[in-house]
A = this chain, B = another copy of it.
């Protein structure tokens, strides 16, 4: 049916590794905006290739807007959450709430700096 396709289609790119975390990172930025390297530094383990690919997907899907500062050397580019991206954050919050409630083994986050508790 139609709506089921919608879910599968959406999850197809949202379900990829790093995607939701990237969205959260932009959300935490000033004006829901972050630069490439900023996101990269805050997501330990992600490679430039993957980050670049995920951002391009999100841009194509309309959740993220990209701006390149003209005439800047070295290049500076910014990624900003769009309206749909912002609403996706609410969905992600739901996922985090669910995980925190039902996946109790996440005690490790209490020992460290845990942002999910702030969210």
Q: Which residues of A contact B (CB under 8 A)?
A: 1-12, 14-21, 24, 43, 61-62, 83-84, 87-88, 90-92, 94-96, 98-104, 106, 108-109, 112-117, 119
Contacts and interface: CB of A to CB of B under 8 A. Distances in A.
Given A2-B108, A91-B94, A112-B2, A99 B10 contact: yes
Copies of this protein, total = 2
The binding surface of chain A is classed by DSSP as helix
29 contacts: A2-B108, A2-B109, A2-B114, A3-B100, A3-B114, A3-B116, A3-B119, A4-B21, A4-B24, A4-B43, A4-B115, A5-B106, A5-B109, A6-B109, A6-B116, A7-B20, A7-B21, A7-B95, A7-B96, A11-B14, A11-B15, A11-B20, A11-B95, A14-B95, A15-B15, A62-B113, A83-B115, A91-B95, A94-B94
